Each structure stands twice: as C-alpha cells, then as structure tokens.
Amino acid sequence: MPSDTVIPIEIDLITALEDRGLRKTATRSTIVARIETANDAFTAEQLCRDLPGVGRATVYRTIRHLVDAGALCKLPILDGAPMYSIARVEHHHHTICSKCGTIGEFRDSTVERVMRSLGKEIDGDIVGHRMEIFITCNRCLGISKSGASIA
C-alpha cells in the first residue's frame, strides 16, 4: 500500500474521535478523508454536499466532536455559516478574509503575553482564549486595486 503524507493526518482525526469514545466506522473514515483532503476551510453544508452518501446529522456530529477534541478549528464568519479548518499546530489564531473567506493561521508571542497578563485582571481562571482577525487579504486587495497601478 503506498504511503504518503496524508495518512498521519487521518490517524490524528480518527484518533481524536476514538479518544472521545467514537468507534472508527466506514462513515467516519469517509468524513475524515474528505476533511483532510480539503485544502481550504469548509462549512458543514459544503461537507454534506461533498458526501451525499452520509447523513447530515452524522456529518454535523462528527464535526462537533472534532472541534471539541481540538482537531478542527471552528471559525466564525462575519455573515454566514461558521467554517472549519484542520488545526495543524497546537495553539494558534486565525486571520479570516472578510471578502473571500480565506483562513490564515498565526502565532504571536506578544499576543500570548498580553493574554497571560490579562489573566491577573480577570476574575476566575482563564481556561483558554480565541482570536480571529478579520482582514482583506492581499489577493482581494490586488483584485480591488487592479484599476490603480501599484508601483
């Protein structure tokens, strides 16, 4: 059987499901395989459309478990359904293009320091944080500025 770089990701997602008590089934393997070959973020509806043989409830439930397990990032979209992308690194934040929906990931030690120092001012224990920065990506900027010459 040929092996390539796709396989470890599938193991991770399946393992994430198994860790949550969900057995590996053909259906779940199909969903995971589709997720891992998606290069971009996707919505639950897109995943349902790509997997006509799989029940919607199963798709939604599997996504929810993967999000809870930290294997998928759930990304709010300014107007529209949330999008999901595979969490490729442990702790990170996102940029989301408000025009085309392209998702970027970033890590920034300054942000983490600010978050830690905020913890002293906030009552209770901070157990996590999320940050999404909405942008107009360079590609969209290029399209919208195509009339003007950028020298």
Binders in 89-128 for Zn ion, by CB under 5 A:
97, 99-100, 102
Q: How far is CA 146 from the centre of its chain?
A: 30
Q: In what order do the strands lie in the sheet with 103-106?
A: 103-106, 93-97, 132-135
Encoded one letter per residue, x for contact with Zn ion by CB under 5 A and - for no contact, window 12-31 reads --------------------
What three-state secondary structure class fits 31? helix
Is the Cβ of residue 22 or residue 115 nearer to Zn ion in the bound state? 115
Residue 82 beta carbon to Zn ion: minimum distance, rounded to whole angstroms: 12
Q: Is 140 in the site for Zn ion (CB under 5 A)?
A: yes
Q: Total residues at the site for Zn ion (CB under 5 A)? A: 8
77 binds Zn ion (CB under 5 A): no
Cα→Cα distances 89→57, 72, 134, 140, Å: 28, 11, 20, 26
Q: Which residue among 32, 66, 96, 137 contacts Zn ion (CB under 5 A)?
A: 137
Closer to Zn ion at the Cβ: 55 or 119? 119
- Rounded Cα distance between 138 and 104, Å, is 12
Please list the alpha-helical segments (H only) found in the chain. Answer: 6-19, 26-37, 44-50, 56-68, 109-121, 138-144
Q: Considering the complex, state which of residue 33 and residue 140 has its C-beta at the smaller distance from Zn ion.
A: 140
Query: Can you give the binding site for Zn ion, defined by CB under 5 A?
Result: 73, 87, 97, 99-100, 102, 137, 140
